[in-house]
Structure 1
């Protein structure tokens, strides 16, 4: 798979590192040679020092032969123009993904739909972070939670404690513990390694086990795991920025949320402002 990444900032760098690790071919485009230097020094990818939002820049990057375009500069407008140019000039480029922080753009389905900019999907980093935090707040026994099918299915990562009844149990013997009907452990993360378990593998304390669980069956799985879930009723968020605001917006119907915004006056003291 050939991927073009427009923007070599921190987001672009991290995306490049992850995509390269998956074995894909990546071309990174940016106007800033210093940012490109970091990418080329640390990652085995091609870099092009040009304006990726221009027709010439996209041509130089090989957009005609690319599978995916990721526009992740720090300018929403640049990212959207890049996707629009790619749609007009390179119809064979089927997937265009853009980083968009302005909520007026991000939530405008008419603007982003296939007939317009054809961005699928638009990604707002602050919302992604806020939603990840909310998932952990809603599932406090987990170390990782991903939602699928609009939250109907959850992939939950649970760290096995020393006193767990699962400790030392072979997978082939799990049915003896009378697990919930659809209980399934798909992956084990152990000492930084990913294991696809077989019947003879045993669960160890400290393992992170990943389980796909239907939303309405989370309670049964929690009970089986011996974990405790107490819904958050009071939440304090330190920081009134975009991420804090998004978390409060999502959680305000479920809990009493208070934001503490820290403002520094004259560089010598912090003053806290409380916002409901």
Structure 2
């Protein structure tokens, strides 16, 4: 798979390095040439020098052959603008990082469904820990080649879960409705357009699931 990152902060570099180690192609768009030169010695990735909010730069990053675009600069407005431009250019999926929680509903109204608020995630984790809840990282639960796969329900898939013809290599474990409402998987549950179905599977089955559900 091919992934493009706008920005080269800590989160982008960490994620990019992990994806390269897993055999994926990674491209980083960065406007500072000195940062690019420094990172060339650290990362086996491609680089594009330029402003990731500009249509010409995003076209150069090749939307047609990119599976996912991460907008991870330190500026919320730049991430939102880059995401909107990328969507207009045909990128399949865009992740938008925002630091200001007040902008989360703006992203939702703009149709940027995959918005990422790092401080929300960390804050929720710390609050749970402060209350003495038994917190187990999902990476500690998934052993060996066990993986999580999720997909959004479209009009063609809006049927009962049991009629979805999920391959035998996977099992539905839960459904998220309206972004956050958790529903445990029930074979007779009627799926709605926009629901996110979460499957438990194996790493070797991910390709088949992507071909089936996109």
TM-score normalised by length of structure 2? 0.61
Measure, in 2, the Cα distance between the counterparts of 1:3 and 1:118. Answer: 21
- Post-superposition offset of 1:126: 1.4
Match 1:99 to one of 88, 97, 100: 97
Measured against aligned partners, the alpha-carbon deviations of 1:225-245 in whole angstroms (never above 9, x if no partner) come to xxxxxxxxxxxxxxxxxxxxx
Aligned to 2:107: 112
Seen in structure 2, the aligned counterparts of structure 1 residues 62 and 145 have a Cα distance that, compared at 3 Å, is same
RMSD: 2.7
Size of the alignment, in residue pairs?
148
Seen in structure 2, the aligned counterparts of structure 1 residues 118 and 35 have a Cα distance that, compared at 3 Å, is farther
Q: Is the 8 A contact 1:83 1:119 kept in 2?
A: yes
Match 1:122 to one of 115, 119, 122: 115
Aligned to 2:31: 31
Q: Give the structure, 1 or 2, with the largest relative contact order (CA under 8 Å, sep 6 or more).
A: 2
- Which secondary structure state, in structure 2, belongs to the residue aligned with residue 42 of structure 1? coil
| Residue 145 (1) aligns with residue 137 (2) | yes
Within 5 A, what are the aligned runs for 1:164-183?
none
- Post-superposition offset of 1:4: 0.7
Seen in structure 2, the aligned counterparts of structure 1 residues 3 and 130 have a Cα distance that, compared at 3 Å, is same
- Which secondary structure state, in structure 2, belongs to the residue aligned with residue 27 of structure 1? strand
Seen in structure 2, the aligned counterparts of structure 1 residues 65 and 130 have a Cα distance that, compared at 3 Å, is same
- 5+ long unaligned stretches in structure 2: 147-214
- Post-superposition offset of 1:64: 2.8
Seen in structure 2, the aligned counterparts of structure 1 residues 141 and 64 have a Cα distance that, compared at 3 Å, is closer
- Which secondary structure state, in structure 2, belongs to the residue aligned with residue 4 of structure 1? strand
Q: Is the 8 A contact 2:97 2:115 kept in 1?
A: yes
Aligned to 1:7: 7
- Post-superposition offset of 1:141: 5.1
Compare CA radii of gyration and give the structure with the larger one.
Answer: 1
Q: Is the 8 A contact 2:76 2:99 kept in 1?
A: yes
- Post-superposition offset of 1:34: 2.3
Q: Judge which range, 15-24 or 4-13, deviates more.
A: 15-24
- Post-superposition offset of 1:22: 2.4
- Post-superposition offset of 1:62: 1.3
Q: Is the 8 A contact 1:28 1:47 kept in 2?
A: yes
Measure, in 2, the Cα distance between the counterparts of 1:105 and 1:4. Answer: 23
Seen in structure 2, the aligned counterparts of structure 1 residues 126 and 103 have a Cα distance that, compared at 3 Å, is same
Measure, in 1, the Cα distance between the counterparts of 2:126 and 2:38. Answer: 30
- Post-superposition offset of 1:39: 2.6
Within 5 A, what are the aligned runs for 1:23-62?
23-62=23-62
